[in-house]
Amino acid sequence: MITAAMVWEWVIKSVIICLAMTIGFAYVTLYERKVLARIQVRVGPNRAGPWGALQPLADAVKLIFKEELTPATADKKIFFIAPIITVLPMLVITAVIPWGESVTIGGKTFNLYLTDSNIATLYLMAVTSISVYGITLAGWSSNNKYALMGGLRSTAQMVSYELALGLSFVGPIMLASSMSILDIVHAQSKIWYIFFQPAGFLLFFVASLAEVNRAPFDMPEAEQELTAGYHAEYSGMKFALFFMAEYGKMIAVSMIGSSLFLGGFLSPVGFLSNIPVIGFLFGNGPHWLLLKVAAWLFVMIWIRATWPRIRYDRLMALGWKIMFPLGLLNVVITAIVIVLVGG
């Protein structure tokens, strides 16, 4: 029975999620610039607002007012649609990730998630794969050889790493006997799955880096080789959409990874939640998810700051010859152990 109140709740939650992702994207760029700067003995943005806090706003204003150029020989329609295809999945992907249990406001209980789907992990897989179309089409429609190569690289890369990513999902799914992210998070209340599934965690981490085109797998962009890869011809807000997709997906995979392997919104120090007044800080809640995501993003940025890029052919070899078999092996071993222990 769907009531008007429920519809309103969904709409409001969706808007909040979209806004959170967009604002999150803006501040992840600042976070990245600050962390990179600190690692590289620099200061980073500090002009716009205190600690550069308004820098993302300044960037957004600048990008909105920039002239958008479309190459004369580009396929105009596809050139226009490509960034939209890329950015949409990033906005909707976190719909199935729970931020917390529920809150009671004014006598009414609200769940801190949009939906608790029983095929949530499949949804994640399906949605993450969509953005690769945008990237490929962007590379192709630009009518630029660098962009084309960037687009082709990303297609090959994402198709290869999707498999490993999917297989790394299987471990937590089997352990929790559920595809719902909420169930998977709840199943980790005693011990996080990173301890049961260290190989799965590593697989997920590497595959997710490749999935979101982050260093050292930022092959499609590879500014030193392909100038800017698939978005070489994009400018203004269209370029910003690609940027948004990349950083939004960084947040999304961090949230997915935290939920699957690091206990999501669960607190690691839940036993302290009985302390008066500040006890809620140690209890479960969205702030733990936020902390885990921040830590996850920090590792991603750290890797970008220190490691050289892996070469395209090595990347494919790694994906097919190491990650994929390892993923299969991990699934088989997990299954055998579950059967033996009688999970």
Provide the binding-site residues for another protein, judged by CB under 8 A. 36, 39-42, 72-73, 145-146, 149, 215-216, 218, 222-227, 304-314
The C-alpha atoms of residue 251 and residue 236 are separated, in whole angstroms, by 23
In whole angstroms, the minimum distance from the beta carbon of 219 to another protein comes to 8
In whole angstroms, the minimum distance from the beta carbon of 316 to another protein comes to 11
Nearer residue to another protein within complex by CB, 261 or 312: 312
Nearer residue to another protein within complex by CB, 149 or 181: 149
Pairing state between β 108-111 and 102-105: antiparallel
- Torsion 296-302-308-309 (CA) sign: positive
> Which phi and psi (to 5°) does residue 105 adopt?
-120, 120
Nearer residue to another protein within complex by CB, 120 or 232: 232
In 3D space, the residue among 128, 134, 127, 163 whose CA is nearest the CA of residue 151 turns out to be: 134
The C-alpha atoms of residue 15 and residue 69 are separated, in whole angstroms, by 30
In whole angstroms, the minimum distance from the beta carbon of 238 to another protein comes to 21
Nearer residue to another protein within complex by CB, 58 or 305: 305
Integer CA distances (angstroms), 68 to 63, 71, 225, in order: 9, 10, 24
Nearer residue to another protein within complex by CB, 34 or 292: 34
* Residues linked to residue 108 through DSSP beta bridges, in sequence order: 105
In whole angstroms, the minimum distance from the beta carbon of 247 to another protein comes to 17
**Residue found under tokens 């204003």:** 61
In 3D space, the residue among 253, 254, 248, 242 whose CA is nearest the CA of residue 86 turns out to be: 242
Nearer residue to another protein within complex by CB, 35 or 194: 35
What's the one-letter identity of residue 9?
A: E
- Helices 76-92 and 120-141, axial angle in degrees (round to 10): 160
In whole angstroms, the minimum distance from the beta carbon of 200 to another protein comes to 22
For the record, the structure tokens of 185 come out as 């998070």
What's the one-letter identity of residue 211?
A: E
Nearer residue to another protein within complex by CB, 150 or 166: 150
* Residues linked to residue 103 through DSSP beta bridges, in sequence order: 110
Nearer residue to another protein within complex by CB, 99 or 312: 312
In whole angstroms, the minimum distance from the beta carbon of 313 to another protein comes to 6
In whole angstroms, the minimum distance from the beta carbon of 72 to another protein comes to 5
In whole angstroms, the minimum distance from the beta carbon of 250 to another protein comes to 17
Integer CA distances (angstroms), 238 to 67, 97, 154, 173, 268, in order: 10, 27, 18, 37, 41
